[in-house]
């Protein structure tokens, strides 16, 4: 693949770099002034919603511009937007939601005033998502759904204002049918959130319980019983984002820098052939994954929907993330064992263990690696159902 940038692309790249230099807050202000950062992106011409189509306020980037934009943002570790609204729910509303829903929800998603979480997984419906049991029963007057059930591993539910939720409205026919996509406010008295503390020691995921939650019919996206179709479209966007390709490019550079500070004999860890081979293998696989992303962007730009390549990117992208975290753990050596106490040894050692432990989940959430392999086998390799 020829990835030489045109003169126009190079001009765009310089424009992005200049914008970041002039507008990105320094140090901790990057987070305290993140609202100002996103406002500057918006005023630039829709850069705050880089993946949205022009008709909804997006910038209309070409595939190469998208690639350049993401790489420059990743290179400078710019503040990310929470993904659930901008990157996941918004495309569903744009494609399947009513005009009223688009007008009601998209502005709050875009300006960050309304946080969303995703109500998919359940104790008995993780990778087998179609096995979900959270029920939504239509009232006799046909104006509301009454929702009862439980979701689990719900990321950022404790700070979310709304949840987009898959619910079962019928048990007739195949289990993929009878699933309905609802939008539910988290401040409803029937919604209860309980924290789950992960292996890495952080609170990012939760259990969510629904007890007789009354949801207006106008909060249903699309048709009743068609939620599985919408969910599959959303998962494609989610899996592409979870691949974290741009972040991995710079995480690998950081891992190399970390290893370069660890003394081994007369040199550093980066001088050891065994370690250098691991770095080289990751760099080659990451480059191949970048090419896959570029092919996907080109396909979408030509009018196609994101396809099964999103599963390839999610599978390989999350595996690469884990392998990078393992490199940091190896570089930290015995000092990584002190991660829960005062840091000792190299400055990166404490974070290395937390990152490694937290990263164990990346090949599970958003569809476990086994699920992605099934998708690839069926839809890419044509190995049957």
Which active-site residues does the annotation give? 238
Separation of alpha carbons 95 and 191, rounded Å: 28
SS3 307: coil
**Is 217 exposed, middle or buried, given 0-12, 13-18 or 19+ CB atoms closer than 10 A?**
middle
Q: Who contacts 273 (Cβ-Cβ below 8 Å, separation ≥6)?
A: none
- Residue pair 56/103 in contact by the 8 Å Cβ criterion: no
Burial state string for 141-150 with b = 16 or more CB within 10 A and e = fewer than 16? eeebbbbbbb
Total Cβ atoms within 10 A of residue 310: 27
Separation of alpha carbons 229 and 143, rounded Å: 23
Residue 324's nearest CA partner among 248, 240, 246 is 248
Q: Who contacts 363 (Cβ-Cβ below 8 Å, separation ≥6)?
A: 315, 318, 319, 322, 369
Separation of alpha carbons 28 and 95, rounded Å: 37
Q: Who contacts 24 (Cβ-Cβ below 8 Å, separation ≥6)?
A: 30, 37, 76, 78
Q: Who contacts 161 (Cβ-Cβ below 8 Å, separation ≥6)?
A: 114, 115, 116, 185, 186, 187
Alpha helices in the chain, H assignment, sequence order: 7-23, 29-32, 34-43, 63-75, 83, 90-96, 99-111, 227-242, 245-259, 273-301, 309-332, 349-358, 369-379
SS3 268: strand
How far is the CA of 116 from the CAs of 159, 161, 353, in angstroms? 8, 6, 29
- Residue pair 24/32 in contact by the 8 Å Cβ criterion: no
């Amino acid at each position: 693949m020829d990835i030489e940038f045109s003169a126009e692309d190079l001009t765009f790249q310089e424009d992005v770099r200049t914008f970041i230099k002039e507008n990105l807050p320094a140090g901790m202000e990057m987070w305290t002034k993140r609202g100002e950062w996103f406002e500057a992106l918006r005023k630039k011409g829709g850069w705050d919603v880089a993946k949205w189509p022009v008709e909804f306020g997006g910038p209309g980037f070409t595939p190469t511009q998208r690639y350049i934009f993401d790489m420059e943002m990743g290179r400078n570790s710019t503040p990310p937007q929470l993904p659930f609204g901008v990157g996941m729910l918004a495309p569903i509303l744009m494609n399947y939601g009513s005009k009223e829903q688009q007008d009601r929800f998209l502005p709050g998603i875009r300006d960050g005033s309304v946080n969303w979480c995703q109500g998919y997984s359940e104790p008995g419906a993780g990778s087998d998502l179609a096995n979900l049991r959270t029920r939504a029963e239509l009232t006799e007057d046909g104006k509301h759904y009454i929702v009862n059930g439980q979701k689990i591993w719900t990321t950022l539910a404790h700070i979310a204002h709304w949840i987009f939720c898959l619910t079962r409205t019928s048990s007739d026919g195949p289990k993929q049918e009878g699933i309905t996509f609802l939008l539910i406010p988290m401040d409803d008295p029937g919604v209860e959130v309980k924290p789950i503390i992960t292996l890495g020691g952080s609170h990012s995921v939760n259990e969510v319980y629904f007890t007789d939650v009354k949801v207006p019919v106008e909060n249903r996206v699309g048709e009743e019983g068609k939620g599985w179709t919408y969910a599959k479209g959303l998962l494609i966007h989610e899996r592409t984002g979870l691949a974290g390709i741009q972040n991995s490019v710079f995480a690998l550079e950081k891992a190399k820098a970390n290893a370069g500070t660890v003394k081994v004999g007369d040199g550093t860890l980066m001088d050891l052939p065994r370690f250098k081979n691991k770095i080289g293998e990751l760099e080659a696989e990451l480059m191949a994954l970048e090419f896959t992303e570029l092919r996907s962007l080109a396909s979408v730009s030509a009018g196609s929907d994101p396809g099964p390549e999103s599963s390839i990117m999610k599978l390989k992208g999350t595996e690469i993330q884990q392998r990078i975290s393992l490199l940091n753990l190896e570089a930290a050596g015995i000092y990584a064992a002190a991660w829960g106490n005062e840091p000792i040894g190299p400055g990166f050692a404490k974070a290395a263990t937390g990152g490694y432990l937290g990263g164990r989940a990346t090949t599970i959430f958003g569809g476990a690696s086994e699920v992605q392999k099934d998708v690839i086998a069926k839809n890419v390799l044509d190995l049957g159902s």
